[in-house]
């Protein structure tokens, strides 16, 4: 009998990707919408504010330029790279700017997703924060590397302690992903901790990948920081920057990678096999974003700060246990110990019409937490607080509060 090939299925590595956790949540959300519930959605970190007008105007003109209708320069146009360097030199204090190289990305996510396949061999370890942005783990798996957790806990201020990892893990570690200001916890990292991490990865021959997508969204009055400010970091560090959050440009898909020239060229050389770069008109728009005056960022931060204060104070008044971390436009709230974050988030939809992201979507350490994205106007935040005050969710909260986390 003729032997048949197995039916076409996804690869084994695709089978290793974590399961999609939010099906039940999606179901409740659509059911609530169908019933006409006025949902207040703190779920996705997608800015509700529009892209600044001058950026849109630049794009409007640039899409009409025939030269830009052809393939872009895949590593980024010279004008874009020069603009990225203007940004880096204006916003940070990087000692070795001249020795760095920049490459355009189709958003930071694209860069993160491709990174392990450039630097890892099968079986190499990729250190990924738990909780953390899920793409770090997924990209390691898709590169046949082995993701190993770096635990971020409230007790350690959601900062990594790489020194507690087994020596055998560190020997196989090739890449560590870090992200400060941090999604989902809102933690920021101080300059001394950054210096120590650079020193550590240098000793252990690990590539530090710093996801600086939220560089400018912080409320502690400190200047934005970059790992590349640490002298010599460029030999062991690649950093990703995004226009999505800083300039309300999530839909445009543009960012850049920066680091030592050799590392960036290695990375971009692989990317040339995978995509053909960022639409030149979008690079033009990004250039305009970089050259906006400080008023844009001042007003962006003022908006998020005011939303943050309203939601944080409101939740604390209702007895919630919210982490008062100063970074990103997220609030990370601890549920009473033992509460399933998925169950809690589902109930919040059906009882109060409020959507939050369950913490376990970011890894096991996110269990018993939920994340609020401050991408909701202030009047809606007040409305949500009003609902939380009235609904049975608050009584559930109070009943369990004697088991509050430390």
Closer to ligand PMP at the Cβ: 141 or 178?
178
Instruction: Give me the residue whose beta carbon is nearest to ligand PMP.
Output: 107
Closer to ligand PMP at the Cβ: 107 or 361?
107
Report, in Å, the least distance between residue 400 CB and ligand PMP. 29
Report, in Å, the least distance between residue 190 CB and ligand PMP. 19
User: How far is it, in rounded angstroms, from Cα 404 to Cα 406?
Assistant: 6
Q: Which residues in 224-329 belong to E strands, given as ranges?
A: 237-242, 255-260, 321-322
Report, in Å, the least distance between residue 194 CB and ligand PMP. 17
Closer to ligand PMP at the Cβ: 72 or 132?
132
Closer to ligand PMP at the Cβ: 159 or 385?
159
CB of 345 closer than 8 Å to CB of 384: no
Which residues have a Cβ under 8 Å from the Cβ of 141 and sit 6 or more positions away? 13, 16, 17, 147
For strands 354-355 and 40-41, give the pairing. Answer: parallel
User: Helices 78-91 and 280-290: crossing angle, nearest 10°?
Assistant: 20
User: How far is it, in rounded angstroms, from Cα 126 to Cα 145?
Assistant: 7
Report, in Å, the least distance between residue 37 CB and ligand PMP. 25
Report, in Å, the least distance between residue 239 CB and ligand PMP. 12
Closer to ligand PMP at the Cβ: 130 or 242?
242
Look at phi and psi of residue 150 and say left if phi exceeds 0, alpha if psi is from -120 to 50, else beta: beta
Closer to ligand PMP at the Cβ: 184 or 336?
184
Closer to ligand PMP at the Cβ: 211 or 385?
211
CB of 404 closer than 8 Å to CB of 319: no
Residue that the structure tokens 């650079």 belong to: 198
Q: Can you read off the two tokens belonging to residue 177?
A: 């992903």
Distances (CA, A) of 381 to 121, 181, 314, 376: 47, 23, 9, 7
Residue 209 DSSP class:
E
Applying CB under 6 A, which residues contact ligand PMP? 45, 107-109, 133, 179, 183, 211, 213, 242, 244, 250, 255
Identify the bridge partners of residue 321 per DSSP, sorted by sequence position. Answer: 334
């Amino acid at each position: 009998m003729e032997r048949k090939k197995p039916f076409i299925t996804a690869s084994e590595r695709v089978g290793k990707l974590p399961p999609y956790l939010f099906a039940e949540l999606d179901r409740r959300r659509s059911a609530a919408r169908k019933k006409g519930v006025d949902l207040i959605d703190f779920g996705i970190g997608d800015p509700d504010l529009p892209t600044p007008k001058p950026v849109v105007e630049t794009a409007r003109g640039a899409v009409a330029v025939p030269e830009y209708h052809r393939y872009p320069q895949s590593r980024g146009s010279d004008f874009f790279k020069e603009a990225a360097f203007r940004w880096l030199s204006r916003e940070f204090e990087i000692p070795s700017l001249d020795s760095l190289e920049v490459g355009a990305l189709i958003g930071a996510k694209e860069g993160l997703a491709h990174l392990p396949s450039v630097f890892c061999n099968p079986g190499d370890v990729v250190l990924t924060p738990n909780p953390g942005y899920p793409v770090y783990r997924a990209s390691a798996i898709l590169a046949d590397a082995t993701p190993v957790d770096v635990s971020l806990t409230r007790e350690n201020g959601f900062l990594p302690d790489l020194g507690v990892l087994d020596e055998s893990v560190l020997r196989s570690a090739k890449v560590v992903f870090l992200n400060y200001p941090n999604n989902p916890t809102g933690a920021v990292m101080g300059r001394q901790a950054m210096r120590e991490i650079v020193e550590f990865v240098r000793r252990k021959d690990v590539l530090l990948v710093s996801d600086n997508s939220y560089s400018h969204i912080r409320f502690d009055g400190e200047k934005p920081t970059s790992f590349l400010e640490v002298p010599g970091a460029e030999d062991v560090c690649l950093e990703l920057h995004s226009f999505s959050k800083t300039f309300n440009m999530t839909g445009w898909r543009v960012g850049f990678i920066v680091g030592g020239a050799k590392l960036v060229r290695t990375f971009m050389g692989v990317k040339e096999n995978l995509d053909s770069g960022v639409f030149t008109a979008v690079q033009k728009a990004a250039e305009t974003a970089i050259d906006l005056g400080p008023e844009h960022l001042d007003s962006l931060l003022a908006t998020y700060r005011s939303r943050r204060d309203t939601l944080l104070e409101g939740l604390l008044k209702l007895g919630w246990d919210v982490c008062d971390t100063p970074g990103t436009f997220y609030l990370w709230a601890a549920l009473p110990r033992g509460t399933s974050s998925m169950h809690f988030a589902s109930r919040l939809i059906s009882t109060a019409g409020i959507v939050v992201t369950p913490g376990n979507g970011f890894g096991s350490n996110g269990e018993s937490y939920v994340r609020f994205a401050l991408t909701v106007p202030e009047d809606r935040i007040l409305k949500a607080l009003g609902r939380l005050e009235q609904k049975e969710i608050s009584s559930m909260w109070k009943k369990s509060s004697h088991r509050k986390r430390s």
